[in-house]
C-alpha cells in the first residue's frame, strides 16, 4: 500500500489549489495524492467546464501568497466596476476599483484555463501524485491513519483525507457527515454573450422579479452570463432559438451594454444550498463545494471555498508535525466557523430579498441600494465581503 501524508479527493479548483498551497507553505516536505475521476484536459470534466468564475480581490491576494497568481494573471480579465440595479425600479449602486483604491475589484477567469495551468504545475511537482482517472470507493480510519480503497482496487494510506469532491461529496457520505439542503427553486442558465458596446471591465448584477442576472467581463469582449430563473422558465429559455433568447435577455437586462449580438452554447444547473455544519471529523476535513455550495448571487461561493483552502493549508503548515492531528483539525474548524456562517447567511438573505416582487421588499431593497450608493458606511460591510477581505 502506498502511503502519503495527505490525500485529497477531488482534483478540480479547490483540490488542486489546496495541493499547490500546501506544497508552497510546507516547501515540499509533505507527500500529497490527488484522486480525481476525470482527466483535466477532458472536455467533459465537470470541475473545469465552460463556466467562468469571479475571483475576488482577497482571493487574488491568497493566490499570490501561494505563488499561483502569476500563472493565472495572463488569462484573467479585471473587474474595474460593479453595477448593481433592480429592474424597473430606482435602486442602483456602483462600486469602482478607483473608489476602493485597488487595481481591480476582482478578476474573471475561465475554469478550463485554470484547470490547464494547474494540471501543468501538478505534473511538475515531485511531491504531488495525481491519481487519475480514479475515485474513492471506501474509507477506513484507525487512530493514526486513513486507508482509502479506490475504484481501481488500489489502496493508499494517509494521515489526513481532505474532501474536495464537490457538492454531493462521496467522501462525506461515506464518513456519514450530515448535509443540510435548501432548494431556492431556481435554475441558473449560463452562457457567454457578445454585446455591441465594450464592457470596459464592468460587471453587472441585475435583479429581476424572476431572479438575478449577472454579466461578468471576459476576454475578447465577451460577457459571462448567469441568469437565475424558476425551473420551468429556465427550461423554456434554455431551449429558445438564439434570436429569441437574445430578445428575451435584452428585455430583462436592458440596454446598458447596447444590443446583445450573439449568444454561445447554453448550460444550466439547479440552485440548491448545500451545507455541512461539521467540516471536520477524525483525520478528515472538507473544503470548497463539499463543505458548502451557495447560490451564485454576489459571487461568494468559490471565494469562500478558497478561504477554506487557504486556512487549511496554513494550519497544516503551522502544525509542523502530524497533518491529520485533532489539534490541527479543530483549529481549522474554529477558524472557518464565523466566515462560513456569515457568507451563507448573506447570500441566502440576498436571494430572499431580491428574487421576488413583494411591494414591501421592493421598497426596502431600493431604499437600501440608494443608501449604499450615497453612504459609504452602509456600503462598507457588503463591500468587504464582495472584495473577499474578511477574517478567515
Q: What digits encode the pLDDT tens for the residues 106-159?
A: 999 999 899 999 999 999 999 999 999 999 999 999 999 999 999 999 999 999
CB 162 within 8 A of CB 285: yes
For residue 1, the number of C-alpha atoms closer than 13 Å in the C-beta half-sphere is 13
Q: What's the whole-number mean pLDDT along residues 308-328?
A: 95
Looking up residue 194, the CATH number of its domain turns out to be 3.30.9.10
Residue 366 lies in a domain: no
**Distance (Å, whole) CA 377 – CA 368:** 12
pLDDT the model gives residue 91:
55
**Distance (Å, whole) CA 382 – CA 376:** 10
Number of structural domains in the chain: 2
**Distance (Å, whole) CA 366 – CA 370:** 6
Element (H, E) at 193: strand 180-195
**Distance (Å, whole) CA 315 – CA 333:** 10
Residue 168 lies in a domain: yes
Residue identified by cell 473577499 is 388
Element (H, E) at 12: none
pLDDT the model gives residue 371:
43
pLDDT per residue as tens digits for the range 134-148: 999 999 999 999 999
Cell of 100: 476602493
Query: Is 289 a residue whose pLDDT tops 50?
Result: yes
Does 279 lie in the same domain as 226? no
Cell of 267: 448550460
Q: Where a domain ends, among 271, 294, 319?
A: 271
pLDDT the model gives residue 321:
85
Q: Which of 70-84, 255-269, 362-376 has the lowest mean pLDDT?
A: 362-376
Q: Which of 148-152, 216-220, 324-328, 378-382 has the lowest mean pLDDT?
A: 378-382
pLDDT the model gives residue 84:
84
More confidently predicted of 269 and 49: 269
Q: Where a domain ends, among 240, 271, 302?
A: 271
More confidently predicted of 250 and 87: 250
Task: Write down the pTM of the prediction.
Answer: 0.90
Residue 121 lies in a domain: yes
pLDDT per residue as tens digits for the range 11-67: 999 999 999 999 999 987 899 999 999 886 645 455 444 589 999 999 999 999 999
Does 126 lie in the same domain as 52? yes
Cell of 59: 482571493
More confidently predicted of 174 and 361: 174
Residue 387 lies in a domain: no
Q: What's the whole-number mean pLDDT along residues 265-272?
A: 93
Q: In 10 A of CB 142, how many CB atoms?
A: 10
pLDDT the model gives residue 314:
96
Residue 253 lies in domain: 75-109+182-271
**Average pLDDT over the chain, rounded to whole?**
88
When pLDDT is cut at 50, 70 and 90, the band that residue 369 belongs to is very low
pLDDT the model gives residue 385:
67
CB 323 within 8 A of CB 30: yes
Amino acid at each position: 500500500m502506498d502511503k502519503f501524508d495527505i490525500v485529497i479527493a477531488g482534483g478540480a479548483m479547490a483540490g488542486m489549489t489546496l495541493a499547490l498551497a500546501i506544497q508552497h507553505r510546507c516547501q515540499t516536505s509533505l507527500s500529497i495524492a490527488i484522486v480525481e475521476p476525470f482527466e483535466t484536459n477532458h472536455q467533459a470534466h465537470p470541475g473545469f467546464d465552460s463556466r467562468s468564475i469571479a475571483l475576488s480581490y482577497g482571493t487574488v491576494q491568497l493566490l499570490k501568497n501561494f505563488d499561483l497568481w502569476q500563472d493565472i494573471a495572463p488569462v484573467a480579465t479585471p473587474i474595474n466596476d460593479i453595477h448593481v440595479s433592480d429592474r424597473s425600479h430606482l435602486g442602483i449602486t456602483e462600486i469602482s476599483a478607483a473608489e476602493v483604491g485597488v487595481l481591480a475589484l476582482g478578476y474573471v477567469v475561465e475554469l478550463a484555463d485554470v484547470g490547464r495551468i494547474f494540471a501543468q504545475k501538478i505534473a511538475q511537482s515531485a511531491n504531488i501524485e495525481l491519481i487519475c482517472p480514479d475515485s474513492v470507493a471506501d474509507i477506513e480510519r484507525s487512530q493514526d491513519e486513513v486507508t482509502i480503497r479506490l475504484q481501481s482496487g488500489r489502496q493508499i494510506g494517509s494521515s489526513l483525507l481532505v474532501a474536495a469532491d464537490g457538492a454531493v461529496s462521496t467522501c462525506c457520505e461515506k464518513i456519514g457527515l450530515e448535509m443540510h439542503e435548501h432548494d431556492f427553486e431556481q435554475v441558473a442558465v449560463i452562457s457567454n454573450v457578445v454585446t455591441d458596446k465594450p464592457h470596459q471591465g464592468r460587471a453587472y448584477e441585475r435583479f429581476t422579479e424572476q431572479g438575478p442576472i449577472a454579466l461578468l467581463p471576459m476576454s475578447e469582449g465577451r460577457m459571462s452570463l448567469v441568469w437565475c430563473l424558476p425551473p420551468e422558465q429556465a427550461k423554456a429559455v434554455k431551449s429558445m432559438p438564439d434570436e429569441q433568447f437574445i430578445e428575451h435577455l435584452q428585455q430583462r437586462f436592458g440596454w446598458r451594454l447596447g444590443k446583445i449580438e450573439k449568444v454561445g452554447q447554453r448550460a444550466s444547473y439547479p440552485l440548491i444550498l448545500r451545507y455541512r455544519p461539521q467540516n471536520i471529523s477524525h483525520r478528515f476535513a472538507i473544503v470548497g463545494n463539499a463543505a458548502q455550495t451557495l447560490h451564485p448571487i454576489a459571487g461568494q461561493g468559490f471565494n469562500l471555498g478558497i478561504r477554506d483552502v487557504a486556512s487549511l493549508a496554513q494550519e497544516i503548515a503551522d502544525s509542523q508535525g502530524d497533518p491529520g492531528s485533532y489539534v490541527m483539525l479543530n483549529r481549522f474548524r474554529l477558524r472557518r466557523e464565523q466566515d462560513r456562517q456569515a457568507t451563507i447567511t448573506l447570500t441566502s438573505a440576498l436571494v430572499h430579498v431580491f428574487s421576488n416582487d413583494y411591494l414591501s421588499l421592493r421598497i426596502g431593497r431600493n431604499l437600501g441600494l440608494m443608501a449604499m450608493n450615497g453612504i459609504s458606511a452602509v456600503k462598507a460591510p457588503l463591500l468587504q465581503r464582495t472584495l473577499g477581505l474578511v477574517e478567515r
